[in-house]
Amino acid sequence: MGFSAHLHSSKAGNTRIFTSNTHSSVVLQGFDQLRLDGLLCDVTLMPGDTDDAYPVHRVMMASASDYFKAMFTGGMKEQELMCIKLHGVSKVGLRKIIDFIYTAKLSLNMDTLQDTLEAASFLQILPVLDFCKVFLISGVNLDNCVEVGRIANTYHLTEVDKYVNSFVLKNFSALLSTGEFLKLPFERLSFALSSNSLKHCSELELFKATCRWLRLEEPRMDCAPKLMKSIRFPLMTPQELLNYVQTVDFMRTDNTCVNLLLEASNYQMMPFMQPVMQSDRTAIRSDTTHLVTLGGVLRQQLVVSKELRMYDEKTQEWKSLAPMDAPRYQHGIAVIGNFLYVVGGQSNYDTKGKTAVDTVFRFDPRYNKWIQVASLNEKRTFFHLSALKGFLYAVGGRNAAGELPTVECYNPRTNEWTYVAKMNEPHYGHAGTVYGGVMYISGGITHDTFQKELMCFDPDTDKWTQKAPMTTVRGLHCMCTVGDRLYVIGGNHFRGTSDYDDVLSCEYYSPILDQWTPIAAMLRGQSDVGVAVFQNKIYVVGGYSWNNRCMVEIVQKYDPEKDEWHKVFDLPESLGGIRACTLTVFPPEETTPSPSRESPLSAP
């Protein structure tokens, strides 16, 4: 019926209030018809580029535009004029604006877009500006992305400019094969080359493409040093550097470019040092960090795994990365410079640690490859590994000879393990984390007795100190840092004198106050797990449940802000002795279609 109604009660009785759903459009149509018929118009607007005249109603223009409102009500001289020349507004743009104000409709194509944008910006017609943004974004393709970017910069359309940047990054490889690539402005090309989000291009391809762009026009050669700083020469192979880069004239003559080649050469000559030599030019071209798991012992047949997996949050699936050369569980993992180290552990299932190993491997996510580095001085399993100030620290553990109090430090600069101050007592099944430049070790087992002590190691003084003990004894638990809190989670201990029991209770330690505070208990017991902090949430992965006497596949997430636990997803299989961390890796292959070369921007 075109209206709505509701009751309003008052002392005078019930009042029905009716609202017409068509009134505003009818009034708008009425004003438009008055304009077309030339009735009641009280001002004439003229564009700056022609003598065309457009009779309009002041009240309509002022109601839709702050510019006209100020002109007609603010005491300006135009308030009294019957004919107003709008310098800076074209005939096409003025007609588009007037038609929109009277009809609420706007037709756009590339021929009229810039005139419309200029008029909307000048006259402060915000809805028209928004429509122009949507029109531009919806039609970006390989053939017009450079032009759309130019328009966005000219009219300060920040949203459109960001979208063009995103489009260029995502489709850079395809853009290289078009003539549009050579039309890219320096600023957008520089942005793309420096971005970790640049998709599907090798560094050699980027170098060759940049050389083409530079040589198109002589003045562009002045940009060579700045652009070359964004090419990741250390990630090229020595053969690529020798055959394709050093043969380019400006790479041999420009001081900045020469230094870039020296940097690449030095980086490649010192593979073991690379984790502590990281810079923007050696980083992986990816902006996606993922939860990563490694190894563990399978519930079925007690087979030890060598799988390295990452969890894809978008598809909610586990994706495989390059597996280790040998299986591992009860191992230690740590990350330096986005390189993943896997230290010690066991290749065979053995609860006593008699098959502990001393080998150490390093995973490079840039190439999805493993290399072996220097081995530990002692075989160890059931130990803790931390990365601290560019070094690795392997603490305690056990092997065929028994429990270990010793601590070893790995220096990537020398590819060597050396002993540092040992613990007062041997520990295995303990957990650790780092905060404030020192390492904390909690709980564990000493001489078959579960512990609740907390120890702190300072690498600068090479000394251990005792801190306030936990409120609960526990071993085979996990520990991590979020903000200024050190969280201790799960594990197990003796129930009575000989039987093991899950520890569901959790607590955090404040290094500033030297005190412990209880937090929400876990939903289900997990010992000998992987733990990682991802987006300020704690993920506890797999492990063993003593209450259920089995390996588990669950992943539980703890939210420190809400003090809540949730079961989030499962591992592909039940795994005990698994380890976890976060790592920046190449995003999983996307199955998006090739970018279109057709666009609604060309529509009439």
pLDDT tens sequence across 439-450? 999 999 999 999
Confidence of residue 264 (pLDDT cuts 50, 70, 90): very high
Q: Angle 110-123/126-138 helices, nearest 10 degrees?
A: 150
Query: Mind listing the pLDDT tens digit for each residue in 546-556?
Result: 988 899 999 99
Q: Give the list of residues 6+ apart from residue 122 with CB closer than 8 angstroms, or none.
A: 67, 86, 88, 89, 93
Q: What is the mean pLDDT of residues 253-273?
A: 97
Half-sphere exposure of 404 (CA within 13 A, CB side): 27
The rounded distance, in Å, linking the Cα atoms of 435 and 53 is 73
The alpha helices in 139-223, defined as continuous H runs, are 145-154, 158-170, 172-175, 186-194, 203-215
Q: What is the mean pLDDT of residues 378-385?
A: 98
Q: Give the list of residues 6+ apart from residue 35 with CB closer than 8 angstroms, or none.
A: 41, 55, 56, 57, 60, 98, 102
The predicted pLDDT at position 595 comes to: 42
Kindly provide the residue ranges of all beta strands, DSSP E only, lying in 447-553, ordered along the sequence.
449-450, 454-458, 463-467, 478-482, 485-489, 492-495, 499-502, 506-510, 515-519, 530-534, 537-541, 544-545, 550-551
Taking 90 as the threshold, does the pLDDT of residue 281 lie above it? yes
Closest CA to 256 of 292, 274, 281: 281
The predicted pLDDT at position 497 comes to: 58
| Amino acid in position 198 | L
Domains of the chain, start order: 23-138 (3.30.710.10), 168-276 (1.25.40.420), 289-584 (2.120.10.80)
Query: Mind listing the pLDDT tens digit for each residue in 169-195?
Result: 999 999 999 999 999 999 999 999 999
Torsion angle of the four alpha carbons 89, 93, 94, 99, in this order, in degrees rounded to the nearest 10: -160
Mean pLDDT check: name the lowest of 320-329, 488-497, 528-537.
Answer: 488-497
Taking 50 as the threshold, does the pLDDT of residue 59 lie above it? yes
The predicted pLDDT at position 20 comes to: 85
Query: For the CA atoms of the chain, what is the radius of gyration?
Result: 34
The predicted pLDDT at position 464 comes to: 99
Query: Mind listing the pLDDT tens digit for each residue in 496-539?
Result: 656 789 999 999 999 999 999 999 999 999 999 999 999 999 99
The predicted pLDDT at position 597 comes to: 41
Confidence of residue 11 (pLDDT cuts 50, 70, 90): low
- How many residues does this entry show for the chain? 604
The rounded distance, in Å, linking the Cα atoms of 474 and 260 is 52
Q: What is the mean pLDDT of residues 2-11?
A: 59
The predicted pLDDT at position 199 comes to: 81
The predicted pLDDT at position 14 comes to: 76
The predicted pLDDT at position 592 comes to: 34
- At 215, is the secondary structure helix, strand, or coil? helix
Q: What is the mean pLDDT of residues 65-74?
A: 91
Q: What is the mean pLDDT of residues 204-210?
A: 98
| Torsion sign (Cα): 223, 227, 229, 233 | negative
Q: What is the H or E stretch that residue 251 is in? A: helix 249-253
> Which residues, in sequence order, are bridge partners of residue 509?
486, 516
Half-sphere exposure of 259 (CA within 13 A, CB side): 6
Q: What is the mean pLDDT of residues 250-265?
A: 97
Strands ordered across the beta sheet of 391-395: 384-388, 391-395, 407-411, 416-420
Taking 90 as the threshold, does the pLDDT of residue 413 lie above it? yes
Closest CA to 433 of 328, 538, 296: 538
DSSP, res 244: I
Give the pair of three-digit tokens for residue 197. Answer: 């989000």
Taking 70 as the threshold, does the pLDDT of residue 454 lie above it? yes
The predicted pLDDT at position 3 comes to: 58
The predicted pLDDT at position 333 comes to: 98
Taking 80 as the threshold, does the pLDDT of residue 599 lie above it? no
What's the mean per-residue pLDDT of the chain? 93
Taking 60 as the threshold, does the pLDDT of residue 600 lie above it? no
The predicted pLDDT at position 602 comes to: 38
Taking 60 as the threshold, does the pLDDT of residue 28 lie above it? yes
Backbone phi, psi, residue 303, to 5°:
-90, 140
Confidence of residue 594 (pLDDT cuts 50, 70, 90): very low
Q: Angle 91-103/23-37 helices, nearest 10 degrees?
A: 140
Higher pLDDT, 487 or 15: 487
Give the pair of three-digit tokens for residue 86. Answer: 């709008």
Burial (CB < 10 A; 0-12, 13-18, 19+), residue 59, is middle
The predicted pLDDT at position 204 comes to: 98
Query: Mind listing the pLDDT tens digit for each residue in 554-564?
Result: 999 999 999 99
Closest CA to 578 of 527, 552, 542: 542
Taking 60 as the threshold, does the pLDDT of residue 603 lie above it? no
The predicted pLDDT at position 500 comes to: 86
The predicted pLDDT at position 596 comes to: 43
Closest CA to 274 of 393, 362, 206: 362
List b or e across 313-336, with b for residues whose CB sees 16 or more CB atoms inside 10 angstroms.
Answer: eeeeebeebeebebbbbbbbbbbb
Contact of 194 with 169, CB cutoff 8 Å: no
> What percentage of the chain exceeds 70 in pLDDT?
95
- At 223, is the secondary structure helix, strand, or coil? helix
Backbone phi, psi, residue 33, to 5°:
-70, -35
Mean pLDDT check: name the lowest of 3-7, 96-100, 387-391, 516-520.
Answer: 3-7
Q: Give the list of residues 6+ apart from residue 186 with CB closer than 8 angstroms, or none.
A: 220, 223, 227
- At 340, is the secondary structure helix, strand, or coil? strand
> What percentage of the chain exceeds 90 in pLDDT?
86
The rounded distance, in Å, linking the Cα atoms of 164 and 158 is 10
Taking 70 as the threshold, does the pLDDT of residue 12 lie above it? no
Query: Mind listing the pLDDT tens digit for each residue in 153-172?
Result: 999 999 999 999 999 999 99
Give the pair of three-digit tokens for residue 223. Answer: 């940009």
